[in-house]
Amino acid sequence: MKVGVLGIQGAVSEHVEMSRKAMQEMHIDGEVLIVKKLEQLEKIDALIIPGGESTTISSMLKRTGMFTAVIEKAKKGMGIMGTCAGSILLAKEVEGREVETLGLMDIAVSRNAYGRQIDSFECDVEIKDFDTPFHAVFIRAPVITRAWGEASVLATLKEQILMVKQNKFLALTFHPELSADTRIHKMFLNMTGSQQFS
């Protein structure tokens, strides 16, 4: 199993480390690659889109030729996890500043919903099917304002949607890679694998 972490912006190395740790704990024979070029994208089974600035990530995907390729691979079964700005890229609708998204998930997202960097925060979040809360880190986080169709809400905070699953896609408004908890990365690996790992 090969998991790619999009290497344009955000906590790329942290996602790589968390994915490797999750694979080790789940006894998965695989590797984690940083993806910056189209030819690297073609080698992976699943993709993580980290945080950053959604318009920059979108334009860089286009410049490298990966924008259309990601959509095509997703339609053929590649799993994608988008965290923070990554969740914006997965959405079909974005409220606020214009950004061209991959449009793969039945969600609407509001950018920078919690305000500026100074308004970043941490809190424990209840996630569906998790026995204990997940300590979530929010950095200039967006909010998923609406989910419909095949999208399933996995976590909320004060009625605001934080985490959504749809087929092999996972959108989160927080940063699981900045926690010591590998459960979300494990969930993603199980979603994208052809078998259920333990």
Tell me the catalytic residues: 84, 175, 177
Distance CA(38)–CA(18), nearest Å, equals 23
CA pair distance 158, 126, nearest whole angstrom: 11
The type of residue at 78 is M
Alpha helices by DSSP H, listed for the chain, are 12-25, 38-41, 54-63, 66-75, 85-90, 183-192
Alpha carbon distances (Å) from 4 to 39, 56, 107, 135, 151: 12, 19, 23, 24, 23
Six-digit token pair at 76?
């053929």
Residue 63, judged by CB atoms within 10 A of its CB (0-12, 13-18, 19+), counts as: exposed
Residues with Cβ within 8 Å of 28's Cβ and at least 6 positions away in sequence, in order, are 1, 22, 189, 193, 197
Provide the CB-side half-sphere exposure for 56 (13 A, CA): 10
3-state secondary structure of 38: helix
